[in-house]
Amino acid sequence: MRITRSKFLQILAAATLSVSLPSLSLAQASKKYVFVTGGDFAPYDMTNPDGTFYGFEIDLLQQISKRAKFDYEIRQMAWDGMMQSLMDKKFDAIIYSVTITDERLKVVDFSLPYTSEASSFVASKGSGIKLPDTGGKVDLGQPEAQVFIDSHVLPAFAGKAIGVEAGSTQLDFVQKYFGDKGIEIRQYVGVPQAYQDLQAGRVDAVVAAETSLADFVEKNKDTAEIVGPGYSGGMMGHGLGIVVQKGNSELLNPINAALKEMYADGSLKELTVKWFGRDLSPHL
C-alpha cells in the first residue's frame, strides 16, 4: 500500500500528541545524547579547520536541544555504515540529510521532516547534456514521470557516467530508471567525492539534493550547471529527518515537539532561508 505524504506526516506526528516540551523529565533533561553527522555536505553540515561543525543542521540541532532541554555532542562518521551503527546502539541519532523513506522506516524511526526538497543533476558545462524544464519539478509518484524520463532523460545520458552517493535515495533512483539502459553508475562514499570526479572529468554528471547542487554550482559557475528538473515524491521519500533507533520515543518525542514548535513560530522557515536562500520548511 502506498503511503501518501499527508498520511505519513500524520503517522510521524502521532508520537507528539501526548508530549509537550515542558513535560520532559529531569533524568532526560540531564542526559547527553550523541548525534552523528558527516560534516561534509554543504550547506547542511560542514567542518571547520578546528574540527567543529557548522551548517543548517548544526543550527537546527542547537535550536531543538534548547527547546527540548537536552544536552548533546556531535561526532563525525562516514555515511557508509552509519545506519547499521545506529541500529547497533553505538550512538543515539543521525542528523545528516537523511531522506525519510518507507523502506528505512522498517528498521529505524525518523523525526518529522525538517526540509522538503527535490534531487537533480549537475553536469559539466560543455558535456553536451541538455534537458528541458530546468528548475521545474517531476513527481516520481505520478505516471508522467516515466514518460519524461524515457523521452528526455535517458537519451540525454546515453553512454554517459553518473556519479552518486552510495546508499542514498538518489542511488535507488538512478538504479531503477537508468541501471540497465547503457548508462554507467559510479558510487561514491560521499557527494563531495562525486563532485571531485565531475570536475576531473571522470563522470559526466552527479545526482544529489538540489541545495547541495546549488551550493556546488555557486562555487563553480564557470564549469558546472544544473540540468533538467528536480525529482521528488515516490521513491525519493518524504523529506529529510533526524534518525533514531526503532522505538526510541524518549528522544524522538521531544525532537518532534520542538520541530512542530519551530514550524509554528516561523523559526524553521527562517533557518532554511538563512542557509538556502529560500523557504524549504515542510508543512507540518
Contact present, 94 and 76 (Cβ < 8 Å): no
The 3-class secondary structure across 152-211, one letter per residue, is HHHHHHCCCEEEEECCCHHHHHHHHHHCCCCCEEEEECCHHHHHHHHHHCCCCEEEEEHH
pLDDT digits (tens, 9 = 90+) for 231-252: 998 989 889 999 999 999 999 9
Please give the average per-residue pLDDT across 16-20, as a whole number: 44
Amino acid (one-letter) located at 118: A
pLDDT digits (tens, 9 = 90+) for 77-92: 999 999 999 999 999 9
Could you identify the residue written with the cell 559557475? 221
Distance (Å, rounded) from C-alpha 101 to C-alpha 224? Answer: 30
Provide the grid cell at 120.
Answer: 537533480
Contact present, 134 and 227 (Cβ < 8 Å): yes
Rg (CA), the chain: 19
Distance (Å, rounded) from C-alpha 99 to C-alpha 119? Answer: 11
Which structural domains are found in the chain, ordered by start?
5-116+239-276 (3.40.190.10), 119-236 (3.40.190.10)
Provide the grid cell at 121.
Answer: 543533476
Q: Reduced to 3 DSSP states, what percent helix, strand and coil does the chain have, rounded to the nearest 5?
A: 40, 25, 35
More confident of the two residues 241 and 5: 241
Count of all residues that appear for the chain in the document: 284
DSSP state of 51: S
pLDDT digits (tens, 9 = 90+) for 123-144: 999 899 999 999 899 999 999 9
